[in-house]
Each structure stands twice: as structure tokens, then as C-alpha cells.
């Protein structure tokens, strides 16, 4: 299993993806690199090594690079400039269900991860590492949606959100608690297709008029037909079985028009998970959803009737396909000692939508009750309401 750490070509410091600048940034010398610059530097470095070592050396570079990957290569092919890599024998597949150990390419420390972890940090040197084997082959994402909200913005948005809540425990506002906020790329499967739909319905119009003392009502029934084609793009499904479904689906929708072809460089500096669910799991549900949506849209196009009754509907799905994407989510956990319960929160890393259930401080709630009820009770007693 290849393990990669992206290095600054100028000072050798770790490179992380900056959501605000949409570039790889070195936190030490503050250098910034675009996708095009990284590709160019990698190509120049590979050419230089090949020239220095001759044909045999060039062949050796290609062989050695197989243990790493380029930050920006389109096909996942390896390149050596700006990327440190290491390989761990005996960890070539992820069939084991338990934790898996890898070696940090920067400091040599052992990194222990779950089988679905695709990007993480070294616990010792804190350099970001990408487990490239988890995002290659059958697990190579088609797309990635880069983080658009950086950590500082995420913290501010989260504090604004909880600031509107009156009964949150004070410990929830603690700086150490906010530092638990983590940026994670979660795996999602995207379903796209075309649906040809046709409905037959009966529409009824009702006319009423009064003649003398008699009210007359006339009912007219009409045969109504509607047909059309619906383009469905990127119906999203969570593809990680261990994730909190309520949270990772609660931050939907994402603006998938901004998806870009997958590059491992976008993962540097963030956590990432690989999918462990197959599209076949969601196909029947997705097909039924788009069929129902098609019928609902055709039905809503019928107007001018007092009532409409669908008699028959027919839908045909064409050009269906599933694609795999990593989408950005800021996540945080809070353990409430009094309740003995852990609360989970998630924020859409693109739109800022927040999902989660906040803990309630019973003491603050009781204080509010006492502050309102006791004075009111005293006032009523003085007024003789309970005498």
C-alpha cells in the first residue's frame, strides 16, 4: 500500500490544500502551488533525474515512483517531485476488518488506520499523508468536491450557530471543544440517468349555478395525457456504512456542478474515507425515486381541473450510471459527561449547512424556569388568584 506525503519543492515542508485559495500551501515558507505548477515541477524533476541517471536511471525512477503518486496526475500514475512515498509489505489489500498499520514517509513512524481511511495525519510529525492505495483501482473516485470553507470559517459558522441556542452547556463553547472540528472527505455515490415518462389521467371540472331555489352542479370528465423526458443528475447516496447516516445525509445537498476530476492533492491536509458500499445496494431505491419524481412532475403539469386521478403511468430509465465522489464535510463530536452521551455534528464543507442535535444544560433550563415561573407565581399570589 503506497503512502504519500506532499512536500514543498522550496523548503521540504508539508503541503496542504487551502480551501480559500484552492491551492496547495506550505505552512512553513508560505509557498503556494496551483495544479498546473505542481504538474510542471513534477515533470521537470522526472526529466532531470532521467538525464542525470541515463536510460537505466530513468527506468529506475519509473520503478521507484510506482510506490508513490503524483499530487495531480489525471490517471493516478506516479511521479516523484514534491511527493514522498513509502510502501508497506503485507498491507497491499484491505481485506482485513481490523486496523491497518502504515509507515509515515516523513518521519518513519507507524500510522494505524481503519480499513476505510484514505487520508490522515501522522500522529508524531503531524504531516498529512494520503494512503493512495485506498483511492486507486476500483476505489479511484471519479470526482472530488474541494473544501470551499476553511477551518477558521467553519469555526466561526459553528459558533454563530450554537450562539443562537440558549440552553447549550457552557463547556460546549470551550476552545478545546472547537479544536475537535475536523475536515473529512466522505465517500458518496452519484446516480445520473434519463427517464422517459408518460401518464394517463382523468381530470374533472365542476360547474355550479343557481336556478330559482335550485343549485345545479355539472361534472365533466376529461381524458388527460402527459409525457416527457427528465434528466436526473447526481442523485447522492452515502457510501460509507460506518458513518452516521443522519449526519452525512443531513448536510445534503451539495452543489455538484462544482465537482472536479479527482486528484489526490485535494486530500492533503484533510481526513478522507473510502467507500465500502457498492452501487448495487442503492440501485432499486434510486430507480424508484426517480420514477416517482418523474410521475409527480408530469402530474404537477396538469392544471385547470378541480381534481385529477392518475389511471396509468409508465416510466423507462435510460443511460443510467453511478459515479464515485469524495465530498467535503466538517465534523465534530461532543461528549456530555452528565448525560454520558456523545453528540455528533456535521457541516457541509461547501455550503455551510449544519446538521446535528445539541445537548441541553438542565441547570440553565431550570434557571430560566425559576426566573419566569417564581416571579409570576408570586405576582398571582399577591393578586389573590390562588386564594
H helices, E strands: number in the chain: 6, 17
348-368: b (≥16 Cβ within 10 Å) or e: bbbebebbbebbebeeeeeee
Spacing of C-alpha 48 from chain mean position:
39
Cα end-to-end distance, the chain, whole Å:
81
Q: Of the candidates 220, 228, 193, 205, which has an alpha carbon nearest to the alpha carbon of residue 301? A: 228
Q: Which ranges of the chain does DSSP label H, i.e. alpha helix? A: 35-65, 151-163, 175-178, 245-250, 283-300, 362-382
384 Ramachandran zone, left/alpha/beta (phi>0; psi -120 to 50)? left
CA atoms within 13 A on the CB side of 384: 0
Spacing of C-alpha 262 from chain mean position:
14
Query: The whole model's pTM is what?
Result: 0.77
Report yes or no: 26 and 37 within 8 Å, Cβ to Cβ. no
- Calculate the dihedral angle through the C-alpha atoms of 165, 167, 169, 173, rounding to the nearest 10 degrees: 20
pLDDT of residue 67: 38
Cell triple for residue 217?
352542479
158-193: b (≥16 Cβ within 10 Å) or e: beeeeeeeeebbeebeeeeebeebebbbbbbbbbbb
Q: Per-residue confidence of the chain (387 residues) as pLDDT tens digits?
A: 567 777 888 887 788 899 988 898 988 888 898 878 877 887 887 788 787 776 544 433 333 333 334 444 444 433 334 555 555 434 444 454 557 777 887 777 777 788 888 888 877 777 888 888 888 888 899 999 999 999 999 989 988 887 776 767 776 666 676 777 899 999 999 999 999 999 999 999 999 999 888 999 899 999 999 999 999 999 999 999 988 888 889 999 999 999 999 988 899 889 999 999 999 999 999 999 999 999 999 999 999 999 999 999 999 999 999 999 999 999 988 776 666 677 788 999 999 999 987 776 555 545 544 555 555 555 555 555 444
Amino acid at each position: 500500500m503506497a503512502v504519500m506525503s506532499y512536500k514543498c519543492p522550496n523548503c521540504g515542508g508539508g503541503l496542504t490544500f487551502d480551501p480559500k485559495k484552492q491551492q496547495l500551501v506550505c505552512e512553513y515558507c508560505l509557498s503556494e502551488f496551483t495544479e498546473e505548477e505542481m504538474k510542471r515541477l513534477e515533470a521537470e524533476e522526472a526529466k532531470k533525474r532521467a538525464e542525470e541517471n541515463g536510460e537505466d536511471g530513468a527506468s529506475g525512477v519509473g520503478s521507484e515512483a510506482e510506490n508513490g503518486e503524483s499530487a495531480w496526475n489525471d490517471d493516478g500514475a506516479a511521479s516523484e517531485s514534491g511527493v514522498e512515498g513509502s510502501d508497506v509489505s503485507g498491507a497491499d489489500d484491505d481485506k482485513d476488518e481490523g486496523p491497518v498499520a502504515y509507515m509515515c514517509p516523513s518521519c518513519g513512524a507507524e500510522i494505524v488506520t481503519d480499513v476505510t481511511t484514505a487520508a490522515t495525519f501522522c500522529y508524531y510529525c503531524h504531516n498529512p499523508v494520503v494512503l493512495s492505495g485506498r483511492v486507486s483501482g476500483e476505489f479511484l473516485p471519479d470526482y472530488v468536491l474541494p473544501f470551499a470553507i476553511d477551518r477558521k470559517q467553519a469555526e466561526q459558522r459553528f459558533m454563530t450557530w450554537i450562539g443562537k441556542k440558549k440552553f447549550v452547556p457552557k463547556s460546549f463553547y470551550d476552545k478545546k471543544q472547537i479544536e475537535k472540528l475536523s475536515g473529512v472527505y466522505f465517500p458518496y455515490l452519484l446516480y445520473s440517468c434519463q427517464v422517459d415518462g408518460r401518464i394517463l389521467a382523468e381530470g374533472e371540472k365542476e360547474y355550479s349555478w343557481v336556478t330559482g331555489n335550485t343549485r345545479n352542479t355539472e361534472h365533466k370528465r376529461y381524458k388527460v395525457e402527459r409525457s416527457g423526458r427528465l434528466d436526473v443528475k447526481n442523485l447522492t447516496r452515502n457510501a460509507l456504512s460506518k458513518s452516521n447516516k443522519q449526519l452525512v445525509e443531513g448536510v445534503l445537498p451539495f452543489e455538484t456542478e462544482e465537482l472536479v476530476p479527482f486528484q489526490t492533492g485535494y486530500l492533503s491536509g484533510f481526513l478522507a474515507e473510502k467507500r465500502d458500499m457498492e452501487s448495487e445496494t442503492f440501485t432499486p431505491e434510486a430507480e424508484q425515486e426517480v420514477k416517482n419524481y418523474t410521475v409527480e412532475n408530469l402530474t404537477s403539469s396538469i392544471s385547470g381541473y378541480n381534481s385529477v386521478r392518475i389511471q396509468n403511468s409508465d416510466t423507462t430509465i435510460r443511460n443510467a450510471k453511478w459515479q464515485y465522489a469524495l465530498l467535503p464535510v466538517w465534523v465534530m463530536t461532543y461528549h456530555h459527561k452528565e448525560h454520558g452521551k456523545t453528540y455528533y455534528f456535521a457541516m457541509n464543507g461547501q455550503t455551510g449547512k449544519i446538521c446535528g442535535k445539541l445537548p441541553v444544560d438542565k441547570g440553565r433550563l431550570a434557571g430560566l424556569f425559576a426566573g419566569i415561573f417564581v416571579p409570576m407565581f408570586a405576582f398571582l399570589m399577591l393578586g389573590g388568584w390562588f386564594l
